[in-house]
């Protein structure tokens, strides 16, 4: 309570005082560019991803543009120790995401390298994924994938550096007859999603992969 008084929560966009469990005020929320994707239909994310790997369905909550509110939110989540923002992003996703009759069997978050996890203190997808798992009643496996190569954050890499993460992920167990929902924060080049998808496809049997991200670069 004292901390709430000394350091009140403010809207990331207009700096207005807001409830401690919010990210932005209701007015500024209208400034967020939500994608309006439908999971089971063709959309911009699915079209991009399908150029790199076989993707069943795809959904992005927001559009990620330079200096946009979506970028500010993701940066706060990842780099400013605000892990709990994952719950709000999950709630926004739940408001918009309908799996219809193609609900995945398993949620698999993109992992962090142990060194980066220790530095940051949390995986930004942990709370987000758990909230989706709870609401949609889909099991989540935080250990299905592991990151084997350490590198600096994607946001701090150049284009050429982002394409050097091949074989950076490893599947920890063989999967059979499953529809896997791969979740990540931002889809940029698609390099991360593609590497993980092929790692799963090449080491599993009868597996389908769908993709869900908080935001996609446009």
Encode pLDDT of 143-183 as tens digits: 999 999 876 655 554 555 545 557 899 999 999 999 999 99
CA distance 103 to 106: 9
Spatial separation of the C-alpha atoms in residues 170 and 113, rounded to whole Å: 11
SS3 176: strand
Token pair 């063989």: residue: 174
Domains of the chain: 1-31 (no CATH), 34-217 (3.40.50)
pLDDT > 70: percent of the chain:
90
First to last CA, the chain: 40
pLDDT for residue 3 is more than 90: no
Rounded to whole angstroms, the Cα distance separating 88 from 94 reads 10
Give the pLDDT confidence of 48-77 residue by residue, as tens digits.
Answer: 999 999 999 999 999 999 999 999 999 999
pLDDT value, residue 164: 56
């Amino acid at each position: 309570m004292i901390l709430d008084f000394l350091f009140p929560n403010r809207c990331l966009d207009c700096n207005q005082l807001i409830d401690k469990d919010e990210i932005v005020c209701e007015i500024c929320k209208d400034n967020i560019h939500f994608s309006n994707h439908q999971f089971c239909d063709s959309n911009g994310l699915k079209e991009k991803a399908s150029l790199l790997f076989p993707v069943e369905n795809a959904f992005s909550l927001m559009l990620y543009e330079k200096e946009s509110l979506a970028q500010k939110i993701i940066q706060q989540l990842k780099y400013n120790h605000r892990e709990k923002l994952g719950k709000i992003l999950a709630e926004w996703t739940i408001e918009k995401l309908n799996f219809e009759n193609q609900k995945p069997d398993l949620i698999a978050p993109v992992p962090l390298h142990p060194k980066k996890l220790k530095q940051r203190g949390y995986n930004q997808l942990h709370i987000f994924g758990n909230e989706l798992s709870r609401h949609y009643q889909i099991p989540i496996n935080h250990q299905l994938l592991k990151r084997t190569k350490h590198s600096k954050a994607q946001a701090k890499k150049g284009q050429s550096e982002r394409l050097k993460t091949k074989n950076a992920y490893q599947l920890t167990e063989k999967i059979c007859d499953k529809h896997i929902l791969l979740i990540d924060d931002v889809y940029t080049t698609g390099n991360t999603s593609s590497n993980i998808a092929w790692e799963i496809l090449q080491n599993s049997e009868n597996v389908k992969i769908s993709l869900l991200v908080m935001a996609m670069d446009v």
